[in-house]
Structure 1
Amino acid sequence: MVGLGRETKLGRGKSSRRSRPTVLIVTNGEKTEIQYFEALKDEPWERSYHVSFKRGDPRNLVREGSLEKANSDYDTVWCVCDVDHYEVSNLIREARNLGVEVALSRPCFEVWLILHLRDFGRPLQNAKEAEREIKRILPRWDKAALRIEDFREGMAVALSRAKKLAEPPAGNPSTDVWKVVELLGTPEEDDG
């Protein structure tokens, strides 16, 4: 008899893996920021993310981030930028109006890296001074060749230290990068 065989379903079954919210990190930092976040992609974060470099000042970065969000499926867009020589007084409000988040560092992203290595609160005049401070702590430091091994172990303490500083752009030194890292969540344990 025809049709009395075992019934099969030809459709695909549902995936047992949960969907991970996605984050876009947009930065105008051509070297250090890109290297840092790209190196951390190997960690099993709760949220997946993509890193994108955009040229220009923080205001341009926020606008580019807004366009990326409008034309993609990203759940959240974070613009990671330095305060050092930019006027950013209205930037946070503009970012909120455009639906993106901003993680500022004053004077620069290197403040975030310093906090991985030691507690730090002395004002810094500019990015060059911040780089000199990292070199004092970590003599082999090379802005063009970030070694994530130098910073990975200090991430939790950097989060704690950064939260104690005044918020950028007023605080010097200061950084909001901890907010991005906290949003990514703690790296998940591999179920192996």
Structure 2
Amino acid sequence: MLIVCEGEKTEVNYFEAIRREKRLPNADIKIVPSDYGTAPLRIVEYAIDQFKESKAFDRVYVVFDRDDHDSYHNAFSKAEATNKKLKNDEGTAVPFKAIPSVPNFELWILLHFRDVLAPIHRNEVYAELRKHACYPTYAKNSKTVYQDTKDRLPAANSRAAVLRDRFDKNNGNDPYTDADVVTAELLKIADRFH
């Protein structure tokens, strides 16, 4: 599995913490930030280039935020056009999935603590996260976010599913995340290893 993230640390640290805790091999799961910048389309392009370097992956996830990115919709188009078009070293067509969060990845963390059913600006997400009732010790780029929140995963998964049913990731600023998809995939792999 190849996971290419917009953020250099927040998302990478979160998914790496799952990989480490579950003792998933580095050889099987590569989690990297995009070296081409934070624009969603550039992240997709970087993921394609990373895949082509080794062709060792059987799936690719591209994790990015809505924020105010101009290339957000183009990134979806390119990811969809790439889905199952790349072939790995075994000749198998590879799923290539965009994993958006609106407005940002921290929405996924906030969903561990409460519902978010209306548009919310990224600054509000941070402010809400740091409230006493949620996660007052939250710090961007922290390496302990997964450990600090994993007991609340079932609630976060349910809330993310509600957002997927209620809102469209392509429209406006309604809250949305597919971060649970990658999290679930990593945990499913862990179940197979243990």
Q: TM-score, normalised by structure 2?
A: 0.77
* Change in CA separation of 1:69 and 1:121 when aligned onto 2, cut-off 3 Å: same
Structure 1 match to 2:178: 176
Structure 2 match to 1:28: 6
Which structure: larger Rg? 1
SS state at 2:111 partner: helix
* Change in CA separation of 1:140 and 1:114 when aligned onto 2, cut-off 3 Å: same
- Greater shift, 44-53 or 114-123, is seen at 44-53
By how many angstroms is 1:52 displaced?
0.5
Aligned residues of 1:81 and 1:103 also touching (Cα < 8 A): yes
Aligned residues of 2:7 and 2:38 also touching (Cα < 8 A): no
**Which deviations, in whole Å up to 9, do the C-alpha atoms of 1:124-151 show, x marking residues without a partner?**
12x2221111101211111132422221
Structure 2 match to 1:60: 42
By how many angstroms is 1:189 displaced?
7.5
The answer on 1:123 being equivalent to 2:119 is: yes
By how many angstroms is 1:190 displaced?
7.1
By how many angstroms is 1:71 displaced?
2.0
| Structure 2 counterpart of 1:150, one-letter code | D
Structure 2 match to 1:3: none
**Which deviations, in whole Å up to 9, do the C-alpha atoms of 1:43-95 show, x marking residues without a partner?**
43889422101123100000110111122201111110000111322321211
By how many angstroms is 1:123 displaced?
1.6
Residues paired across the two proteins, number: 168
Give the aligned CA root-mean-square deviation in angstroms.
2.2
SS state at 2:62 partner: strand
Aligned residues of 2:67 and 2:102 also touching (Cα < 8 A): yes
SS state at 1:33 partner: helix
More helix by share: 2
Q: In the alignment, which of 174, 188, 191 is matched to residue 191 of structure 2?
A: 188
Q: In the alignment, which of 47, 59, 82 is matched to residue 98 of structure 1?
A: 82
Paired with 1:146 and 1:140, the residues of 2 have a C-alpha distance of 12
The answer on 1:132 being equivalent to 2:163 is: no
**Which deviations, in whole Å up to 9, do the C-alpha atoms of 1:141-185 show, x marking residues without a partner?**
111324222211122221221011023232521101122223334
Aligned residues of 2:17 and 2:147 also touching (Cα < 8 A): no
SS state at 2:67 partner: coil
By how many angstroms is 1:103 displaced?
0.3
SS state at 1:26 partner: strand
Paired with 2:23 and 2:154, the residues of 1 have a C-alpha distance of 14
